[in-house]
A and B are shown apart, each in its own frame.
Chain A
Amino acid sequence: MALRIEVDPEKCMGGGNCEFWAPKTFELGDDNISHVVDPEGDPEEKIVLAAQGCPTQAIAVWRDDERIA
């Protein structure tokens, strides 16, 4: 089952850190905000690193109902 990944557009500052850790999952849009382009784009641990490494804590990751990052 795919992860549920949410980016809070209010917190996101468009640093592109998530794209570094999980480049097939996140993409910075022209609005300077990160968007999830494929929730299965990268291995789960990379997506978790992207969320943990987010400098503004804008990314939340759930597996089923459990928040894992």
Chain B
Amino acid sequence: MTAPTVDASGPYPDWDPLAQYPIDPPGSCNPHPRLAECRRNTPIARGQGWSDMGEAIEALELYRYDDVNAVLRDNETFSSSSIREGMSIVMGPYVLVGMDEPEHKRLRSLVAVPFRPKSLAHWEDELVVQVVDQMIDTFAPRGSAELVREFTFRYPVQVIAVVLGLPVEDHAQFHEWANAIINVSADPMHGIQCSKDLRGYLAEMLADRRRAPQDDFMSELAAAELDGEVLGDEEIFSFLRLLLPAGAETTYRATGNFLYGLLTNPEQLDRLRVDRFLMTQAVEEAIRWEPPLLITSRVATRDTEIHGEKIPAGMQVVPHVGSANRDETRWERADEYDLFRESKPMISFGSGVHMCLGMHLARLEMRVAVNRLLDRCANLRLDPEAVERDNPHIHGETFRSPTTLPVLFDVG
């Protein structure tokens, strides 16, 4: 494989991470104190959800680890179908996260092949490290950076673009399409148009790879086969469009939260800097402490109940994964980022048959990003003046990530 090239044409100076996401407007408050109160006082509560048509509907909210885990594992009683309805306008009909069995298992097994830990090892050195290094090259001589705008926001999209095999001159266009699709609720017409454009672009590429396979992800999907089953073109287009919110958006936020956890706990960052064996648990703790997405959604397929609370068929159920991860009965001092904590299973990647397909890639990206930043940016630290001026903090009630990460480091 030839060395990848990333589009390193500089940051997006006009891009405002808060204005971008209307779902979490500026002024949204930190939801964790409210979630803690719910875990204590109303762990199973009737609240208000939203239908795909934007109508208020009754929903059952779950806040404790065991309840959230139980609902996500019981995919027969709790269907993912409502997610599909909402996403198919920009992703096409085969939205993996919104499918139920048996069609879900067939599609997942086929697209899962390139996401296995062993398949990913192949990409790590050849691609991911090089993407990170080229991005760091753009600010390394300066001794300062704003890591959200110059690094985390663009990094996972670059990885996906490179792994898919997109030529570098198309990366900026790809990121533009990705943003419009991710933010379809802000501008539906634009999002739908970009989804169509991206589908057309991917169709040309897939036809090309079916003719002449290369060592890239698109070729792997085209060739994937299990028990005589193969992927249809539309299944591939749906899946690749799903990767944008599922793979790029979440990992951009998770990487930012990880960096925020380290930079605001400098004594832990110092230990990690000199002992990289801590990296795996440092990543796990970041994902537990501040998952990029706090909730998901299910619909009851039949009348059921949880701890005596009646749930009629058709009712929406909202498992609060971000709350489950701070369940005080499972983690002490759950609100603190503590990389020395012993890792144990948490719920950020979900649970049950829909557990995040990209979890191994996400962990790899977070690990490589921070390893290379620490290797190349000596004495990486928050910039106190910029902190004073810009008040960096993790923002959002649904999606969460830092508003800004102004850093200094030694150039030498």
Contacts and interface: CB of A to CB of B under 8 A. Distances in A.
A32 B226 contact: yes
A52 B69 CA distance: 11
B112 interface: yes
Given A14-B109, A20-B360, A53-B345, A28 B118 contact: yes
B108 interface: yes
B226 A28 contact: no
A33 to B, nearest CB: 9
A13 interface: yes
A9 interface: no
A38 to B, nearest CB: 16
A15 B355 contact: yes
B116 interface: yes
Contact of B345 (A19, A28, A32, A52): A52
Nearest to B284: A20
Nearest to A50: B345
Nearest to B104: A13
Contacts of A57: 73
Contacts of A23: 117
A69 B115 CA distance: 27
Helix, strand, loop or mixed for chain B's interface?
Answer: helix
A12 B56 CA distance: 37
B341 interface: no
Contact of B117 (A19, A31, A52, A53): A19
B143 interface: no
Contacts of A68: none
Contacts of B353: 13, 55-56
B372 interface: no
Q: How large is the interface on B (under 10, 10 to 19, 20 to 34, 35 or more residues)?
A: 20 to 34
Contacts of B109: 13-14, 32
A2 interface: no
B350 interface: yes
Contact of A20 (B72, B113, B117, B226): B117
Interface string A19-52: 1110100001001100000000000000001001
B195 interface: no
Contacts of B363: 20
B344 interface: yes
B105 interface: yes
Nearest to B345: A53
Given A32-B226, A55-B355, A56-B352, A16 B105 contact: no
Interface in B242-285: none
Interface string B159-184: 00000000000000000000000000
30 contacts: A13-B105, A13-B108, A13-B109, A14-B112, A14-B116, A15-B112, A17-B345, A17-B355, A19-B117, A20-B117, A20-B360, A20-B363, A21-B345, A23-B117, A28-B116, A31-B226, A32-B112, A32-B226, A49-B345, A52-B344, A52-B345, A55-B72, A55-B73, A55-B350, A55-B351, A55-B352, A55-B353, A56-B73, A56-B352, A57-B73
Name the 6 nearest CB pairs between A and B, nearest first: A53-B345, A55-B355, A32-B109, A55-B351, A15-B355, A13-B353
Interface of B: 72-73, 105, 108-109, 112-113, 115-118, 226, 344-345, 350-353, 355, 357, 359-360, 363
